[in-house]
């Protein structure tokens, strides 16, 4: 490496370091999805934050190198010539492969341990019977609050088997609770997507698809259908999902039980099958 090369390298390194610090600072201010209402969404958000922080210096390094080369090594003479032949740089190649491998392996380890911690946290929390005041669901240790999610053209409705299978048009969940969703459909393929809770699961007729969420913060969330299911698929968005306090949930579910107005469904069952319409009816 001659002196000019060294100057270029030093300039690039300093510019990269300064811009990376600024870039990471900006990246840390960005609020990434999905949110903070469940342990699953908190895990997803922190992993996305980490990936953004790690990838920012890489992105800045690549863009900076391209821009710097375009200006610093631009050919200025009247005659256009090829640059000197490049036979590779062993140290650079080793460093490139090593750094990339370390980043990928680090993310893999963090992702895997996050998944296993999430499962462990669910087991631990449920063994504490955190459901507390939530009706009959609160008494059984290790019990998760069961919520049946039923996709149907053109909305989702929800049943609470722990409370007699009562049906609700909106998804209401108590905070600090382990939830066990049973996702199914009465007609075609849908997909239950509660984005801020960090959960998404296929809703198929005749299938009881189980997925878990542990609520940690109150707030409202949106439920969408994430599977093209027919002409009013786009109508299947409900911004009125809520994680509420356990007391509010108990009041709400008691009211739903009292009103007991079925919305659209056949009697409660773990799964449903579509039936053809009856002629003349």
Note the residues at the interface with Cu ion (CB under 5 A): 190, 225, 229, 233, 236
d(CA 279, CA 281): 6
Nearer to Cu ion, 213 or 225 (CB): 225
In 3D, which of 102, 99, 210 has the Cα closest to residue 149?
210
Determine contact, residues 229/236, Cβ cutoff 8 Å.
yes
Least distance in angstroms from the C-beta of 194 to Cu ion: 14
Least distance in angstroms from the C-beta of 190 to Cu ion: 5
> Can you state the percent helix, strand and coil of the chain, rounding each to 5?
45, 20, 35
Least distance in angstroms from the C-beta of 183 to Cu ion: 13
Residue 220's DSSP bridge partners are 242
Nearer to Cu ion, 229 or 243 (CB): 229
Nearer to Cu ion, 126 or 157 (CB): 157
Nearer to Cu ion, 99 or 237 (CB): 237
Paired tokens of 110: 């963090």
Rg (CA), the chain: 27
Least distance in angstroms from the C-beta of 99 to Cu ion: 43
- CA 177 to chain CA mean position, Å: 19
């Amino acid at each position: 490496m001659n002196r000019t090369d060294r100057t270029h390298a030093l300039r690039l390194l300093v510019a990269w370091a300064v811009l990376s610090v600024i870039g990471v600072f900006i990246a840390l201010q960005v609020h990434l999805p999905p949110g903070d209402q469940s342990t699953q969404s908190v895990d997803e958000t922190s992993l996305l934050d980490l990936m953004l922080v790690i990838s920012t210096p890489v992105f800045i390094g690549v863009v900076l190198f391209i821009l710097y080369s375009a200006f610093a090594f631009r050919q200025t003479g009247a005659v256009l010539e090829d640059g000197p032949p490049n036979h590779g740089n062993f140290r650079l190649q080793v460093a490139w492969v090593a750094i990339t491998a370390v980043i990928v392996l680090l993310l893999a380890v963090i992702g895997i341990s996050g998944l296993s911690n999430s499962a462990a946290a669910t087991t631990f929390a449920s063994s504490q019977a955190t459901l507390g005041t939530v009706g009959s669901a609160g008494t059984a240790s290790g019990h998760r609050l069961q919520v049946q999610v039923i996709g149907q053209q053109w909305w989702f409705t929800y049943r609470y088997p722990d409370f007699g299978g009562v049906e609700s048009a909106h998804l209401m969940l108590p905070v600090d609770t382990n939830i066990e969703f049973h996702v199914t459909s009465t007609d075609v393929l849908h997909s239950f997507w509660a984005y801020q809770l960090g959960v998404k699961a296929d809703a198929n007729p005749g299938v009881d698809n189980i997925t878990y969420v542990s609520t940690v913060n109150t707030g409202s969330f949106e439920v969408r259908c994430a599977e093209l299911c027919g002409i009013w698929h786009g109508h299947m968005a409900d911004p009125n999902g809520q994680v509420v306090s356990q007391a509010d949930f108990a009041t709400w579910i008691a009211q739903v039980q009292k009103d007991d107005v079925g919305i659209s469904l056949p009697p409660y069952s773990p799964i449903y099958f579509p039936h053809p319409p009856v002629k003349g009816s």
